[in-house]
Amino acid sequence: MSIFNGLQINASGLSLERLKLDVASNNISNVNTTRTAEGGPYKKETVEFSENLKQAEGANYLTHAGVKVTNIAQDDTTKLTYDPDNPDANENGYVEFPNVNMADEMVDMIQAMRTYQANVSSSEANKTILKKALEISKD
């Protein structure tokens, strides 16, 4: 086990939360996108992740190595809104909009920002501990 494992775990958490913020902001910016290059409305995205485990050197057990992104999933569900004047309306006058809920996206962004802040605080604590360990070894 390396003395830098804590910093590596924090770095993986920071990267994950940054990606979650990017995805949430992308969802928000496309809340009214009814036509994409692939055809149809924008598909809401969510980040899926799991614990990252790695084999400990010279041992028969796994150690924690932070988190890893496993997938960025797309939500295929849509909301139908009656707007017969919209050029993307179907024959019945309904337009398909992405299934993006602004309140949910804002909650996700706030949660990601708070978790990011917690990871920064933890990283600072790890750096302080490593600094103190170096000071002790000087004596």
Could you read off the pLDDT of 90-111 as tens digits, one per residue?
A: 999 999 999 999 999 999 999 9
The structural domain count of the chain equals 1
CA distance 89 to 103: 26
Q: Report the pLDDT value the prediction gives residue 137, as an integer from 0 to 100.
A: 76
Strand intervals (E) in the chain: 44-55, 62-75, 78-82, 94-98
CA distance 48 to 102: 20
CA distance 26 to 99: 13
Whether the per-residue pLDDT at 29 is higher than 70: the answer is yes
Whether the per-residue pLDDT at 136 is higher than 90: the answer is no
Pick the closest to residue 20 from 51, 52, 46 (CA basis): 46
Whether the per-residue pLDDT at 75 is higher than 70: the answer is yes
- CB-based contacts of 73: which residues, under 8 Å, 6+ apart? 45, 46, 47, 48
More confident residue, 102 or 6: 102
pTM, to two decimals:
0.84
Regarding beta strands 78-82 and 94-98, do their DSSP bridges make them parallel or antiparallel, or are they unpaired? antiparallel
User: What CA dihedral angle connects 95, 87, 104 and 112, to 10 degrees?
Assistant: 140
Q: Report the pLDDT value the prediction gives residue 139, as an integer from 0 to 100.
A: 63
Q: pLDDT digit string (tens) for 53-74?
A: 887 777 777 777 889 999 999 9
CA distance 94 to 98: 13
Q: Report the pLDDT value the prediction gives residue 110, as an integer from 0 to 100.
A: 97
Whether the per-residue pLDDT at 122 is higher than 90: the answer is yes
Q: Report the pLDDT value the prediction gives residue 39, as an integer from 0 to 100.
A: 87
Please give the residue range of the domain that contains residue 127.
Answer: 5-138
Q: Apex CA 52: angle with CA 46 and CA 57, to 5°? A: 165
